Amino acid sequence: MGKMEFIKVIKNILHSFRPNREAMNPFSRHLLAITVLICLSQASCAYRFSNSYIEPPEGIESIAVEAIYDTSREVISHEQLWQQVQEAVIKDGHLQLKDRSEADALLRLHIMDANIAPAGESRQNGPNPDGKDPEVYGRNYPPHPNKMRPLTQAGQFKDSAQMRFVVLAEVVNLRTRAILHKKKYNVTTDRYYATYQGNTKNNWFLRYVEATDSAFNDASETLAAKIIQDVMVQ
């Protein structure tokens, strides 16, 4: 339902109650209010209290998400962005997520630039806590994983950082090849900290990597929702 059709429906509902408005009992008034709220909440109506409304591009009922194209030269888990965008499509519910061979449109994402700026205190990774190399294993079957000694990576790392990245999103109509949406998004995370995560207590490198992955995943979730919203707003 388009914006004008939706407004017409609401006006008709209100007009039908106008002659008997004074005679309406409290229950009827509540029923009218609930009816209007239900209409506003329906995804098929997709109306907003603004000059725009949410509706898929004309003729588009399904979309595919292409693998991330990353030219940032920064080591980030761009697969997380790909996954978050697919989940955002499903959560939004206006379009079906399909394979490219079956979809009406294709969403392309290009990570154009990224930068991770370490900050905070320096942390030093040393050798194994006991100062020994792992024992040479000579039996015919491996030991239980909890008996294996974790290796630490020597080096100096910061205990916090901040990430910035730039993503170009483009939606293409696979039938007409028309560009339905194209926008560049600049994202900056809050400062994140390398904290203890499971078995990384004595390894600042792994703690730093885990914190970076977590920060990028959170930022990807927010960005994915924004991209899908922008595609739908007409």
CATH number of the domain that 217 lies in?
3.30.160.150
pLDDT of 48 reads: 46
pLDDT at 32: 64
Domain count along the chain: 2
- Domain end: 21, 38, 55, which one? 55
Q: What local confidence, expressed as pLDDT, does residue 233 receive? A: 75
39 and 61 assigned to the same domain: no
22 and 64: one domain? no
Do 31 and 126 fall into the same domain? no
Is residue 149 located within the same domain as residue 39? Answer: no
pLDDT at 148: 60
Together in a domain, 210 and 146: yes
Judge if 93 and 44 occupy the same domain: no
Do residues 70 and 165 both lie within one domain?
yes
The verdict on 32 and 116 lying in the same domain is: no
Which pairs from 73-80 meet CB under 8 Å and 24+ separation? 73/114, 74/114, 74/115, 74/116, 74/165, 76/111, 76/114, 76/116, 76/163, 76/165, 76/212, 76/216, 77/213, 77/216, 77/217, 78/111, 80/213, 80/216, 80/217, 80/220
Residue span of the structural domain in which 16 resides: 1-55
Domain shared by 160 and 95, yes or no: yes
Asked if residue 203 and residue 92 are part of one domain, the reply reads yes
Alpha-carbon span 212 to 219, nearest angstrom: 11
Whether residue 174 sits in one domain with residue 227: yes
pLDDT of residue 223: 96
Stretches where the chain sits below pLDDT 50 are 3, 43-51, 127-128, 131-133, 152
